[in-house]
Amino acid sequence: MRRLGYVAGSLFLLLYAAPVAAVVVIDNLSVRPNPVHLTRDNPAELEVEVAVRDRGMTRILGCQLALDFGDGTPDLVQQFMDGGPRKATVKHVYRKPGIYNVHVHGATTGRERACEGEKRVQVIVVGESEGGGSEVAREAATLTLCPQGWSLIPGSQNGPRFKCRPDKPLMKIECQGGTKYIEQDGLIGCQ
């Protein structure tokens, strides 16, 4: 009889406790087109694609995230269902030229599981040029030169000259062998 209780307890741990260790992480955030052009006749509409992936168990879990478009509009909550697709594409319209930071992060609005992690991407909305071109249009020309995963260092732009720095990683490095994670002066590592 004890053996049956032991087996039942082990099965409970395997079936119900193990999924707690499984995590769904935000894997990618992309926008297109970027830069996007705004005219009097056409609003600046772009597609935002978010992808998630499972980490840990191979069970396909769902999660919930929020998209902040950086323009003051309410966050858009996106649900990924258990066993469902791992990508979602939404459209968003910007009404004014400018440089916006799109941010996606896990969100819970009820009993739903939040996606883990966050991603950011910069969106450039270029308005119609009035005479010699707008300041946003001029800045957009150099901002797009920074590769993906890098951002323009504010104040470093001087005509065609500018500097980029790598974006912070979304998750800390898991250090091994008794070392600790460090982050200082723009460098990260284990020490």
Q: Give the model's pLDDT for residue 144.
A: 55
Domain for residue 17, yes or no? Answer: no
7-21, 44-58, 90-104, 163-177, range with greatest mean pLDDT: 90-104
Q: 92 and 162: one domain?
A: no
The CATH number given to whatever domain includes residue 61 is 2.60.40.1460
Check residues 153 and 178 and name the one with the higher pLDDT: 178
Model pTM?
Answer: 0.58
Domain for residue 8, yes or no? Answer: no
Check residues 145 and 62 and name the one with the higher pLDDT: 62
Residue 135 has pLDDT above 70, yes or no: no
Query: Beta strands 63-68 and 187-190: pairing type?
Result: unpaired
Domain for residue 13, yes or no? Answer: no
Q: 95 and 49: one domain?
A: yes
Q: How confident is the model at residue 111 (pLDDT cuts 50, 70, 90)?
A: confident
Q: Give the model's pLDDT for residue 94.
A: 93
% of the chain with per-residue pLDDT over 70:
73
Domain that holds residue 163: 145-191
* CA pair distance 38, 96, nearest whole angstrom: 7
Q: 168 and 99: one domain?
A: no
Check residues 170 and 52 and name the one with the higher pLDDT: 52
Q: Give the model's pLDDT for residue 16.
A: 46
Q: Give the model's pLDDT for residue 73.
A: 93
Instruction: Tell me the two tokens of residue 157.
Output: 């732009």
Q: Which amino acid is at 76?
A: L
% of the chain with per-residue pLDDT over 90:
19
Q: How confident is the model at residue 18 (pLDDT cuts 50, 70, 90)?
A: very low
Collapsing DSSP states into helix, strand and coil, what is residue 32?
strand
Q: Give the model's pLDDT for residue 191.
A: 84
Domain for residue 33, yes or no? Answer: yes
Residue 170 has pLDDT above 70, yes or no: no
Instruction: Classify each residue of 12-47 as buried b or exposed e, where b means 16 or more C-beta atoms within 10 Å of its C-beta.
Output: eeeeeeeeeeebbbbbebebeebbbebeeeeebebe
Q: Taking Cα atoms as reference points, which of 164, 139, 120 lies closest to residue 30?
A: 120
**Sheet with strand 63-68: strands edge to edge:** 36-37, 118-126, 98-106, 63-68, 76-80
Q: Taking residues 22-45, what's their average pLDDT?
A: 85
Domain for residue 133, yes or no? Answer: no
Domain boundary at 98, 127, 156, which?
127
Q: 123 and 150: one domain?
A: no
Check if the beta carbon of residue 56 is closer than 8 Å to that of residue 23.
Answer: yes
Domain for residue 4, yes or no? Answer: no
Domain for residue 74, yes or no? Answer: yes
Check residues 81 and 59 and name the one with the higher pLDDT: 81
Q: 35 and 69: one domain?
A: yes
Q: 104 and 52: one domain?
A: yes
Q: 118 and 46: one domain?
A: yes
Residue 120 has pLDDT above 80, yes or no: yes
Q: Give the model's pLDDT for residue 130.
A: 47
**Count of domains forming the chain:** 2
User: In 56-117, which ranges are E strands?
Assistant: 63-68, 76-80, 87-94, 98-106
Average pLDDT, the chain: 77
